[in-house]
Structure 1
Amino acid sequence: MTAAAAHPPRSHGETADERRARYDADEVHSLRERVAEARWRRRLAASRSLNHSYRVGVGVVGGLIVAVGFVTIPLPGPGWLTVIAGLFVLASEFTWAERLLEFTKHHVKRWTDWLTARSIWVRLLVGLATAAFVYGVLVLTLHMMGVPDWVPGWVPLWR
């Protein structure tokens, strides 16, 4: 969708209610389009330098969140959730991130649907395999970086 198609020209006398009615008549409202229609975002977009600075800021913040997510994927915790949160931030301004977020949502839903259609034993095996992988990454990380002194000796980790 081009910028002209996403934001059709407004007449000078258009009220907020008329703009909202025109916006509601559209069929699809992406996150980026909803953010772009917000009053505060339109004010930022009116100034070229503010608009550019805002987009750079969104890119930097979203990129950092995605980077932290990628680093934490193999560690216990919300690695993939952090990556998706970073994509959400980036998708508020960038079409490519919006497409990637939609792709990710589609495949996560497919995986969830597939897994919930399986028997409880398959789901338990997937859960155990995931837990074993996370435990293995944790042990490997602690082996490479060293086990902290505060970890009790009875905890089953490499020393």
Structure 2
Amino acid sequence: MSAPVPPTADGSPEGDTTAPAGHAGHHHGHGPMARLHRLLDPIRANPTGRLALKITVGILGGLIVAVGIALIPLPGPGWAIVILGLAVWALEFHWAHRLLEFTRRHVRSWTTWVTRQSLGLRFVIGLVGFVFISFVVWASVKMSLGVDLWDVAMKFLGTR
């Protein structure tokens, strides 16, 4: 049996890599996320509070991610909801914080690249994205609900 690890100045065991960098006892900066981290710091200072917070954040983030994944094939903000769930997880889990930063970095670079392209190419990119999303929605509705949206649209347009 190994000896218990002494807590650091912030109350967390040394070597605890489950919480993202910048947590308890560290300067968080300014802005809403920094305020939220400072609000959670007293809870993290207590081992029971830390465990309860991890469980709560894990369950809440998991529910949000699950709803987002369920909404991905439908029109709407499925991916945005998944990213919101990831942001909730990032409050307590270092792996989620790293994944969220990776996602932000790549979305930013993609957006920067697209905005530097000509209007014609941006139109083509948008059209390809629209066709892809339309296909995913059509296939998802057909496979999950058995409804062929193309047939429904054609019947609707034929009656008008």
TM class, shorter-length: 0.5 to 0.7
- In structure 2, the residue matched to 1:146 is 146
Q: Give the fraction of aligned pairs with identical amino acids, expressed as a percent.
A: 40
Is residue 37 of structure 1 aligned with residue 32 of structure 2? no
1:44 to partner: Cα distance: 2.3
Structure 2 letter corresponding to 1:72: L
Structure 1 distance, partners of 2:73, 2:123, is: 20
| Whole-Å separation in 1 of the counterparts to 2:133 and 2:157 | 16
Q: Which runs of 5+ in 1 are unaligned?
A: 9-21
- In structure 2, the residue matched to 1:19 is none
- Distance across 2 between alignment mates of 1:42 and 1:135: 45
Kept after mapping to 1: 8 A contact 2:73/2:140:
no
AA at the equivalent of 2:47: R
Question: Matches of 2:157 and 2:84 in 1, distance apart?
Answer: 33
Q: CA RMSD in A?
A: 3.2
Judged with a 3 Å threshold, the aligned counterparts in structure 2 of structure 1 residues 155 and 89 are, in CA distance, closer, same or farther, namely farther
Paired residues for 1:5-154 under 5 Å: 7=10, 26=27, 29=29, 35-38=36-39, 41-144=40-143, 145-147=145-147, 153-154=155-156
Structure 2: tracts of 5 or more residues without a match: 1-6, 12-24
The alpha-carbon deviation at position 134 of structure 1 amounts to 1.6
Query: With structure 2 as the length reference, what TM-score do the two structures score?
Result: 0.67
The Cα offsets for residues 15-74 of structure 1, whole Å up to 9 and x where unpaired, read as xxxxxxx96xx5x64988754432xx2442344323212210101111221222233223
How many pairs are equivalent? 133
Q: Return the letter of the residue paired with 1:113.
A: T
Contact residue 65 and residue 86 of structure 1 kept, 8 A: yes
Cα distance, 1:147 vs structure 2? 2.7
Deviations 1:112-151 (A, max 9, x none): 0010010111111111111111211222223221239xx6
Distance 1:4 1:46, change over 3 A: closer
| 2:156 maps to amino acid | W
Question: 3-state SS of the aligned residue for 2:114?
Answer: helix
Q: Counterpart in 1 of 2:4?
A: none
